[in-house]
Every structure is written in C-alpha cells, then in structure tokens.
Amino acid sequence: MTTAISAKDVKVLRDRTGAGMMDCKKALQETGGDLEKAVDLLRQKGIARAEKRADRGASEGLIGSYVHFNGRIGVLVELNCETDFVARTEDFQQLARDIALHIASANPLAVSAELVAADVLAREKAIYELQAADSGKPPAVQQKMVEGKIRKFLEEQVLLEQAYVKDDTMKVGDLIKAASGKLGERVAVRRFVRFEIGGA
C-alpha cells in the first residue's frame, strides 16, 4: 500500500532541500511520508542542494513591468530579494524586466507547480487518462504515459519550469538561481499578472 503524499508535504520538502517537485514526491513515497528520512534520502542521492540562502527572508524587491511593442500585452511581476541595496542594482532591475518580458511571451499559468489550480490539473489529467486508455496499452504503461504528460504540461505552463525565451537552454528557475548566486542574496518571483487586450 502506497502512502498518500499531499502537495503540502511535497512543498515543505522542496522548500527545505531545493530539489525538484517530482524528486521530492518520490522521496516521500519511498520513505512512507517521513519528512526527515526524505531529506536524508535526497541528500544521499545528491539531489538536495546546500543553498544556505533558501531559509532567508526575501521581503525587499520591486515590481518589474513590460508592455509589448504593439501595446496589447502588459505584465507586472513582483521580484523579491533580501535587501533594498540589491533591489536598486541594475542587474536586479534587468532581471525583473527580463522575467516580465518572458511572461508576456510565454503566458505561464502560475509561478510554480504547487500554485497551479487543482481543477486545472484535474482537467488535464482526465484528458490524458482518456488518451492513455484509447492507446490500449497495459494499465501500468498508461499510468506512466499520464505522468509523463502531466510533467510536460507543468514544464510548459509553470513559470519556473519554462524554457527561458531569451535562452532556451535554461529554465526561468535556473536564471533566477544564477542571479541569486551573482547577487549574493535569495531572489524569488512572488507573483505576476499578465494583461492582454481582449483576453479573459
């Protein structure tokens, strides 16, 4: 019998270790939902990153903005850091502009996988399950197909998982981590809003 792992547990583990969502879920399943054992397991596997900045508060920052050249798409994004000093640097301000431009272009659903609405995920999963059933493949294979499609959906729709529009060899999450290393402070996207003329 497999232990039911909640999205909250996955988020707690992810926040503590910096490991990916799927890795955290797998570690919790392997350890029967024991958080401390899951942390140890991720460390043993080398997935957890020793990011000392992860526990620091990021309560400073700025609102970055971008309006597309045709004036039909606009984005506001709240980018946080630890100090007002870093928030005023050109590098930080440029990062906020770049992320806003990316959001205008890629139109993500949410900042992170945990913030994707449950009903949206449930709808996608239902579609993928029907498609998998139509394949006529064994149930175990169908389940893997569904999991793979959900993973791909999140990679395409979640800001931190999306390929960065200015350099598709990296994800937006990697761009933020690189900036955090360069600036010496924790950097995080808190929220964003994207406007489009005629959009919902």
Q: CATH number, domain at 152?
A: 1.10.286
Band of residue 180 on the pLDDT scale cut at 50, 70, 90: confident
Q: Are 41 and 27 in contact (CB under 8 A)?
A: yes
* Together in a domain, 89 and 79: yes
Given the DSSP bridges, would you call strands 73-81 and 60-67 parallel, antiparallel or unpaired? antiparallel
Q: How far apart are CA 102 and CA 111, in angstroms?
A: 12
* Together in a domain, 97 and 58: yes
pLDDT recorded at residue 11: 87
Q: Are 30 and 47 in contact (CB under 8 A)?
A: no
Q: What's the pTM?
A: 0.66
> Is 1 domain-assigned?
no
* Together in a domain, 46 and 104: no
pLDDT recorded at residue 12: 86
* Together in a domain, 101 and 175: yes
* Together in a domain, 186 and 94: yes
* Together in a domain, 66 and 32: no
> Is 175 domain-assigned?
yes
* Together in a domain, 167 and 153: no
The pair of three-digit structure tokens given for residue 13, joined into one six-digit string: 């583990």
* Together in a domain, 184 and 88: yes
* Together in a domain, 105 and 166: yes
The CATH number of residue 101's host domain is 3.30.479.20
Reply yes or no on whether the pLDDT at 95 is more than 80: yes
pLDDT tens-place string over residues 14-61: 777 666 778 888 889 999 888 888 888 877 665 444 344 455 556 789
The CATH number of residue 25's host domain is 1.10.8.10
Q: How far apart are CA 92 and CA 79, in angstroms?
A: 9
Q: Are 37 and 17 in contact (CB under 8 A)?
A: no
Q: How far apart are CA 100 and CA 94, in angstroms?
A: 10
* Together in a domain, 170 and 153: no
> Is 2 domain-assigned?
no
> Is 94 domain-assigned?
yes
Domain count, the chain: 3
* Together in a domain, 174 and 188: yes
CA-based end-to-end distance of the chain = 43
* Together in a domain, 106 and 121: no
Residue 200 contacts by C-beta under 8 Å, 6 or more apart in sequence? none
Q: Which of 24-28, 98-102, 138-142, 143-147 tops mean pLDDT?
A: 98-102
Residues spanned by the domain of 151:
117-157
Mean per-residue pLDDT, 139-166? 92
